[in-house]
Structure 1
């Protein structure tokens, strides 16, 4: 039996032609290129995007964007450190009446959490330890060394041939002590990691990344500081400000 080709109604032909025209017009238009570039930008910055197709309207593409993060003390965070955006989801701290000093300390933590998390992921140093040391060594960013040298960890200079601006004299345990000078505070965070990667601190990397007590007391035993209560002070900061939250993210 011969196959019979049924004719396509004129109305359907016109509909298909109109749909093709609209699709072709949208795909080749500069607007569509802008839309896709914008979508790519949001994807790269880890934003959540939803695309809706609409054939009935003149615009085939509509974009609705909703941020999946918001910035605030202890809450989900969008942070920028060392010129790079770093996205984390840090659990909120318990609700309690923070003292004025603790709020100042939390503001410091919020400022440098991205740097600490970045170093944690690069080198395996718990972010809680880095933040606690930064708080303690710099007086949450208020020490002369932190302000003048951008040095938040008391990192000393042992080089005998320093270029100009590499270090400066500062009174410490001895009559003459020279400390590193950094262009910005994030530079001292990176240098802090390099200090802890030295052989004397290698045993610490065998500890669990969430073992902030072991790290705190291990730093004291390895000679990071001369204060016999150095480890206890780090633990107190981590527990009071709940800095252990950052280790759960970076582990």
Structure 2
């Protein structure tokens, strides 16, 4: 099958940025979709949304990406992946001195180890295709320290380092690797923070960007890109 008909796997695909990305792919491409999240009810609702947006096929997987054993039970070959978008994440808005060890570890597991686990499982399938694309949704918090969300920043530093290393390993193969360092983007993560959502990046713009990345020729790759609100950082940040 051609690359345009291979599936797009999106973690955290049941809501927020992940669902916005899925909806853009549903409208603008022929790719089938595979949405991964933990909540089965939210996945079912997301599937219906994507079908209503024009997706030809949508599959859902209720899966904890931090659980390597559960990931190992999935036959990713049957899903025919061409694109993997590691979007699932957790944002902890808390000073480091107030962050518990459990919260610190959880940020790393969800934001970094989860992408490592899933990529390791899907990569053999991508390498067997005519082309493949891995997009890791990182953060501007991977490029600098964040005073009010240090554990989150740490985890995104780890994800970016992983992405850069993976790109080096896959240079010369048919699999492209991209990191998107997102500035403040409207999602459910901001619901507990006093911030004006209209000043944040529109989540569907992230989807439009990734669709554009997927349309590049095999001769090109965007290794790393930073996306920011037009008005700059929004307080508190």
TM-score of the two chains, using structure 2 as the length reference: 0.23
From the two aligned structures, give the one with the greater strand fraction. Answer: 2
Greater Rg by CA = 1
